[in-house]
Structure 1
C-alpha cells in the first residue's frame, strides 16, 4: 500500500491572491463554465480526508450554508479554538505535523488541503504537502490576501502537468521533490 499523499488544491489570481482584502471571491466566477470542474472531481475520487483552515471553512459555510465535503468524507478544520465536532467535521487545534503523521499511518486514500493562506503556510513550513494543484485565474486583483506568505524554507518541486482551459484558467500540477 502506498503512503497517503497530501494534495493542495487551490486557486489564485495571476498576481498571487486567493481573496480580496474583504474576503470577496466573486472574481472566481469569471472562469465558471457549465459542466467544467477543472479536474476537481478526478482529484476527489482518490481523496477521503479534507483539510481546511477555519477562515476558509467559515467562508464556505457562509456561501453554501454547510461544508459539502463533510457529506462524503472526514473533514478537519484547523483552528486555534476548541470546538465540538460535528458530523464528519473535527475542529483540530493541536500540532499539524502530528495530525498529518497520524493520518498517513491510517489506511485510506489521499488527503486534500483547500487552504487558506495560514494553513498553507503552516503546512509548507513543515513541508507536509506532497502535490500542489494550483489554478491560476486570469485576473489581477492588485491587492488582497496572498496565497503564499513569506518566511518559508526553500522547497524543490517539479511540474508534472499544466493544462490551459478555454476560460483562460491555467492549472499547474507540481510534486514535491524528495529531499535528503
Structure 2
C-alpha cells in the first residue's frame, strides 16, 4: 500500500519557514551532495505530491516548475480553481487520500505546509516522517508542529548524518 511521507526540513528551534513563508535559511545547504542524494532518493520513491495552497503559491514563483512528471495536488478551499498542467486543485483531504491510497503507484510526498501538515496529523494520515534537522535557530516563523492536542507514538527507523544536517526517519508505531 502507498505511504504518505512527510519529507521536510526544520530548524533546530522548530521552524519550517520564516515569517514571510521564505526558505532562505536553507540556501547554504542546497549544494551539499548528501542533501541532493536524500532528495533524489525521495523523488524516485514517489510519483504523487500533495501540498497546500500557500506552499503552491511559493513554489510556482519559480521560473521552472520543479515537479514536472509528478501528479501534483493542491489542497485548498478554493478548489473551484481550474486545474492547469501542473496541479489539480482539491478541497477534501480525506477523500483525496482515500482515492490515492486505493490506486496503484509509488508513495506520496506530503510537501507541506504547516496548515496542511496539521490537517494530516489530525486525521492520522502520515505514515512516515523524514525530518532534516537544520543546525540553525531563526527565532520566528512557521512551526512544523503547532497542535498541542495531537499525540502519536512513532518508531525511529533511521538516523543519518548529512554533513551538518541530521535526518531522522520515523514511522507509525
Answer whether contact 1:60 1:66 (CA < 8 A) is retained. Answer: no
Distance 2:53 2:152 in 1: 25
Give the aligned partner of residue 173 of structure 1: 169
Give the aligned partner of residue 29 of structure 2: 31
Moved segments of 4+, more than 4 Å: none
Count of residues in correspondence between the two structures: 171
Instruction: Work out whether 1:21 is the aligned partner of 2:26.
Output: no
User: Where in structure 2 are the equivalents of 1:82-97 lying within 5 Å?
Assistant: 82-93=80-91, 95-97=92-94
Distance 1:35 1:18 in 2: 21
How far 1:88 sits from its partner (Å)? 4.3
Describe the superposition over 1:101-159 as per-residue Cα deviations: whole angstroms up to 9, x where unpaired. Answer: 11101111111111100000000100000000011111001111111111442111111
TM-score (norm 1): 0.90
5+ long unaligned stretches in structure 2: none
How far 1:38 sits from its partner (Å)? 4.7
Larger mean CA deviation between 148-157 and 123-132 belongs to 148-157
5+ long unaligned stretches in structure 1: none
Distance 2:15 2:172 in 1: 22
Cα RMSD over matched residues?
1.4
Give the aligned partner of residue 54 of structure 1: 53
* 2:153 counterpart (142, 153, 156): 156
Distance of aligned partners of 1:88 and 1:59 in 2 relative to their CA distance in 1, 3 Å threshold: closer
Give the aligned partner of residue 127 of structure 1: 124
